[in-house]
Structure formats: structure tokens, C-alpha cells
Structure 1
Amino acid sequence: MDIQTINQTARQARRYVVTMNHKAGKGHTGADLSEIDIICTLYMAVMDRSQARPDQDRFILSKGHGAGGFYCSCAAMGLLDPAVLDQYMGDDTLLAGHPIHQKLPELVEINSGGLGHGLPIAVGLALGNKLAGRAHRRAFVLLGDGELAEGSNWEAAMSASKFKLDNLIAIVDRNRLQLAGKTEDIMPLEPLVDKWQAFGFEVVECNGHDPQALIEAITRPGQDKPRVILANTEKGHGVSFMTNVPAWHHSVPDAQQLAQALAELED
């Protein structure tokens, strides 16, 4: 998959996000926009989903509040009918505010939104693959950086290191903002590289909005240990007035803001 196509798909996903959240009148717009390049790159250039479960790479969206970005990425990639986006957060919808496996079993691996659950489950998937002779199948999990204040992540990290889960790849959406402000003001994470290394992970930092950098970070030769990608991103990426503004964590555009956002997101 060429990089230009991934970038075009991500841009379409961003257009879907701002439109969908405007229509719904709710959503985590900034959080959605920061993760889209990561999701599109994984699905379009990295993950092997050619076989049925369990013999395929698996993706877990641990930062479940980014469900809108996931849905819109899937729609842009042709995995979900874009017309369904109009149901977002409606009554009896397929597209809940946090992803529900029972609603979209082919796309959603687990119900998420309670932060700190995705990495432990991904550890279980990766270990299960090894025990079942499917060590070539990988478990990918996307974490929010604010989510790393949850202790369950670090318990899971200890287990991943102990079992040498080199088929586990965690990706941190490192936009440095969360609901109430900057991560480093609320619960400082730095030195984050040192923390992950102390837990036995191989750590790779990259630009989380650059598909080529993401591909290289994910596919580089391993070190017989789990890997974490610290993907440096911007909350609200792609829309100037949303970028790195904490208020857009859980805000939606009005009609005027939508028009401006769509103008900025034109191809």
C-alpha cells in the first residue's frame, strides 16, 4: 500500500469525523483526529487479516473514547458503510460512544472504554497465540497516553516482558493532552521511554502522523521482547483551530466550525 493512499484515506476519515460528530452533537473530536493515521496505517499496510480469527493479526482500541475515529477510519477504508456513521450514538445504534463487540463483531475485538483494559487483554491474545503455535500472529493495542496512569497497564507490561511476547505491539497515542488538561500536569509520564524500558519493552519513538515512520517503527527487526511505539501526535490533528487545544478532547464543531474544518481537510 502506497503512502499517498494511506494519507488520502486518513484525510477522508477526518472529514467523516468532524461531520459525524457535528450531526451527533457529541463525540471526542480531538481524540478521534489524533489516532486516525495510526489506525489507517495498521490496517492498510501492516496487519494481516486475510485469514479468519484466530489466525490473523488482532487490533484492540484500548482508548475506547476514540471509537469515532476508529469507525470513521473503517468507513474510509471500506470496512464499514459510511451511511452507518449517521447512527453514531443514536438509539440502538451499531456505533456506540465506546466500541461494543456484540454490535460490530467483525471489527471490534473487545468492549472498551474502561481505561487500562486493552493492554492486559492484548497480552492474553499474544500469549495465547504463542501457546497455540501462532507466534507469527501479532496483537496490536492502541493506548491513550493519559490512560497510562492506570496501574493495570504496568501489571500487563510486567507479564508481557516475563513471557517475552515479541508478537505484542503496543502503540501509545502520545498527544500529551487528556480530558482535564496536559498529561504532564495531571499525572506526569516522563521519562516515558525509561519507564517502558524498565518494564522490559523495546521502545521506538516516531511521528504518529507519518505512515512511513509508523511502518518502519512497527516492522523493524525485533529484540525477543514486546515492543511499544510512542507515536507522537497532536490532539485535533488536521484542523487548525482544534490542534493541541485541550477543550477539543470532548467537543464537537458547530455549523461554522464544521465548514472551516471541511475546507481545511479538502484534498
Structure 2
Amino acid sequence: MEKIITLVLCLSLVLSVAGFTSKAEASEASATTEKAEIRQYIETNVALLKHTFDKLPKQSTKDQIDKVIEDHYKKYPTPQGVKNTSLNELDVFPELEEKYKKLKDQNIKLQYSTDEELNNILEKVYTFKKDNSTVRVLLGEIGDIQVMEHTSTPDNSTSKDASTQAVTNMERNTVTAYAVLGGARVFNVWAEGKFQYDKKKKTVKVVHKDGDYRKFIAGSLLQIEEKKMGESRVADQGKYVYREVYSRIYVEAILGFKFGGVVFNSGLAEVYVGAGSNGATYGGQKKL
């Protein structure tokens, strides 16, 4: 009798293990299929987005670009199965992990970088200029989009002579983050500043500062906490004197989005403008 009981128990154990193995294999096969389907959709979508941006006139405005992105996703909506996936971008594109590690905490100064330089680290960059506005669109390998606009509004009431004190234009830097899947605008954040500088004395100071953010997704899908809005700071580098105005927020979202060249769901995002004692201005962004 004991032998029979032992045999039954062993048989039950074998069947249980076989059942678990079968379920695990089925689950793994399902995940592999899902990854392949998502990858195929994303690669097709990126090709379509590149075609869309390639056709855009180089004098397109920020509003026109926002509308083009919105229209693209209306015409080519993300399949619901892709939207509802529990996989993240690194599950589907594990080869991007090293690239994101290199980009993390990197200070991306878009104003002084050429498209060719940025393409080497940020996949594909499109530049559009009109009047006092320069717009850069960053398009990643997984369809991740980020749009940065830098405006420089002239102040004709102040002198730009090298021998006197002068004031820069009103510099404003706005970054808009888009959801990786679905292409919805998630949020934007901006910083604005004007700087007084003296080339002879090699000094510069902030004479105007402002900043804010805007949420495009309501409810619990997106939480934003203000950290710094339009604050000024010293940004000297060795013997070179700089001042900056920056805005910093903590973002927590259900949807993955792109900021500072990196795709993430939660973390600190910062945008800034600055000027040196020679009157040269710049703008940038970074994920902290």
C-alpha cells in the first residue's frame, strides 16, 4: 500500500511539474510573439514618422509641428494591443539599454549643436526655423518624440556695443514630451530669462526670470511635482562666467515619454536658458 501511495504522489508531482513547464513555455512563447508584433509596429511607425517630418517645410512653427504629430496618429493609430502591453521599450528593444545609460544625466545643449552631431547620439533630429524661433524635433528608434523650441525675442532698447553694459534678448526654452506609444502630448516645461552682461568686467547677471509647466494628460495617469520654476543659478565653468534660469519638475507617468534624449516613466526633468559674460546665450535640457 505504501508503495502505491508513493507512486501516486510521485506521479502527481511529475504531472504538476509538467503542467507548470507547459504553462511557462506557453507564456514565454506568447511574450516572444507579442515582442515581435510590437517591434514590427514600431519599426513601421518610425519609418512613417520620418517620411512625415522629411516632408515638412523647414519654416514650420511649433504649433504646425504639434498638429502634424497629432494628425499622424489619427491616420495611423496605435493598435490597442500595443497600447495595453505590460512590456516596456527595453523588453522589446534590449539593444537600447546601453545607449540610454550613456545619455542618462547628459546635458543636451541643442542650440549650439548641429543636426549631424545630435544625430550621432539622439537617432534623428529635425530643425525648423522661422523668425525668432528654432524648433528641434527629436525622433528616436522606437518612435519616441520630443520637441524643443528656443525663442530669442530682441530687445531693441539696449546697447549691444562691446564696450558697454548690455542686455540679451528674452531667451525662452520650451520642451514638450510625447508618449512613446500613441504619440499623445504628455507635458511641456519652459524657462525664460534675460541677462545683463559686461564684456569688459566679465560679469553677467539675471535681470528677468520665469518658468512654468503644463499637463496635457489629466488624472492619475500623470503626476507632476514642481521643484524649481524659473529659478536663477550660477553656472560658471572654470574662469568662464555664466548665469542660468531653469525650471525643474518631478514627473511620474503611466505612459513612457522622452525627455533629455532618454525614455522613462518617472524622474526629474529640467530645462534652462543661460548667458555668458560675452553676451552669448544658449538653452538646453536634461534628465536628472
TM norm structure 2 = 0.24
| Structure with the higher fraction of residues in helix conformation | 1
Q: Whose strand fraction is larger, Structure 1's or Structure 2's? A: 2
State the structure with more CA Rg: 2
